Structure 1
Amino acid sequence: MNFKNTVYIIMGGTTGMGLAAAVALKSEGAEVLVVGRNEESCVKAAETLGEGSIALSGDATDPKTVRTAIQRGHDAFGSITGLFHVAGGSGRKWGDGPLDKISLEGWNKTMELNLTSMMLSNQAMVNYFLEHKNPGTILNMGSVLGYSPSPKYFTTHAYAAAKSAIIGFSKSIASYYAEYGIRVNVVAPSLFITPMAKRAAEDDEILSFLKTKQPLDGGRPGAAEDINTAVLMFLHPASKFITGQILAVDGGWTLSEGQYPQGN
């Protein structure tokens, strides 16, 4: 796909699926600005993306971060075509888990990381499109756990609630802003090898379960690059007739029951 003369901001774009998407966009001719949580990841991302790309460090839950990114992107490239919001994270270490054990801090932190950060980036991007009277596209990162639970191994109920809310939020704003040519969609991966998935990816029992839960391509966890085809499709200006859609990139997760070891 030809992305010449397009510009994208990727919140959470310095590692994992965000960085993989940035590399894919850049390879197809787009200009990219990525935002990550820390300086070290930003330096590495800038080296990976090469000359002309911009990597900024900042907290996605701080409204100033996305506003700064939009201003830097506009100043550097002249306009912004779209936003891919990847930023989020697990609230497990703050107390997310099964409902009977969730702490209020775990609930609030999970919502802040995954839902508040996305609202802030989407709001700022919509305001930019409206201000400049330009059409544009927003792609939000969901999760299959937002609508296809797996109760034995993946029991972070605040996280599931946040990812489910991303779907409702995205559909609602897609409907409201469609008349302005602003498209909003969601890509929903299953278990991918990312920094957040370290716990599951290093658990032999979960990996065994995964062979039947997401059975495509040998029943493996997703690689960061597996998301790219869907991301490029949604972000490309030629997808101007697609909005309010949720696409699972899940290796068959939502179609498969998954088998537990005998005796469990």
Structure 2
Amino acid sequence: MSKIQSEQFPLVGVALVVGGTGGLGRAIVAKLAANGSSVAFTYNTNSTAAAALEAEHAGGDYSVKAYQMDLMDSAAISSVVESIAESHGGIHTVVYSAGAPLYLRYIGAIEPERMNFHLQSDVMGFFNVVQNTLPHMRALKGAYVACCSCGLDKWPVKDALSVVPKAGIAALVRGIAREEGRYAVRANVIGTGVIDAGITQAGLESGDVPQNFVDGAIQSTPLGRLGEADDIAEAVLFLASQRAKFITGQVLNVDGGWTV
């Protein structure tokens, strides 16, 4: 392990990336593995993508291993977390990069059952991950990083199904920062802008995200472009590493200036 790598993460343990097969998740897994950490990542149903991601990093300096996990199943989360901690000697970082598909709807047009699904899968999914990882994070004085939405600071019309659950996650992150600092556990949020990956691309392909939404995002972003998955991965790396050892309870918007 090089000097720069040993300064970023503990010598033991693993970074857990929840939602590792998504557009953002894959970039985050790659970034952490390239900068000094073994990585355990979870997926729900896309076993093909999980196997491909494992194969992509086979033979590297740091192991990358997939674990199937349903965020709606709290018992399964507990089992997977314990297996990861036992296999890797602990968990020093938890990155939450999961999220339901992007459906753009006015609040008045959202079906209650759809909102309920987004809240349950996202907010309760994150809550269950936190409760099951906290003992391991306390042991290694770890860091949580939750990928949320820059819509927490500037409302994106029709995006309630994304922003409302992410607001709940952001509130939990602030609570963790406040309550778990006594154990030297840190927790921060990344407010993601419109990223040319993952749910944005999937939404364009399915028709749930119209092209004018993307065009409008570019026009209203001072840097004049969509974000890239690597932009988010770089922010995750910083907040998870020891370079951010005195930063907790904060929101870092990675949005090209969209919220300005």
TM-score (norm 2): 0.86
8 Å contact kept, 2:15–2:37:
yes
| Equivalent residue in structure 2 for 1:108, among 116, 119, 123 | 116
Counterparts in 2 of 1:65 and 1:41: CA distance versus 1, 3 Å: farther
Q: Which has the higher contact order (CA 8 A, sep 6+)?
A: 2
Instruction: Summarize deviations over 1:214-258 as a string: whole Å, max 9, x none.
Output: 231xx2221111112211111113422111010000011101xxx
Q: Which residue of 1 aligns with 2:101?
A: 90
**One-letter amino acid matched to 2:214:** L
8 Å contact kept, 1:60–1:87:
no
Please tell me whether residue 81 in structure 1 is matched to residue 92 in structure 2: yes
8 Å contact kept, 1:147–1:164:
no
Report the secondary structure of 2:41's partner residue. strand
Distance 1:145 1:172 in 2: 20
Q: Which residue of 2 aligns with 1:224?
A: 229
Distance 2:175 2:50 in 1: 32
| Equivalent residue in structure 2 for 1:160, among 160, 163, 174 | 163
TM-score (norm 1): 0.85
**One-letter amino acid matched to 2:178:** S
Distance 2:81 2:96 in 1: 13
Instruction: Summarize deviations over 1:76-126 as a string: whole Å, max 9, x none.
Output: 22121110011111363xxx7322222110110110222111111111111
Q: Identity, % of aligned pairs?
A: 22
Please tell me whether residue 251 in structure 1 is matched to residue 256 in structure 2: yes
Distance 2:71 2:196 in 1: 21
Q: Which residue of 2 aligns with 1:205?
A: 212
Report the secondary structure of 1:247's partner residue. strand
Computed over aligned residues only, the root mean square deviation of the Cα atoms, in angstroms, reads 2.0
8 Å contact kept, 1:43–1:55:
yes
| Equivalent residue in structure 1 for 2:133, among 118, 125, 128 | 125
- 4+ runs of 1 displaced by more than 3 Å? 200-204
Distance 1:37 1:208 in 2: 31
Instruction: Report 1:5-154 matches (<5 A).
Output: 5=11, 7-38=14-45, 39-51=47-59, 52-90=63-101, 92=103, 97-130=105-138, 133-151=139-157
Distance 1:129 1:227 in 2: 22
- Alpha-carbon offset, residue 200 of structure 1: 4.8
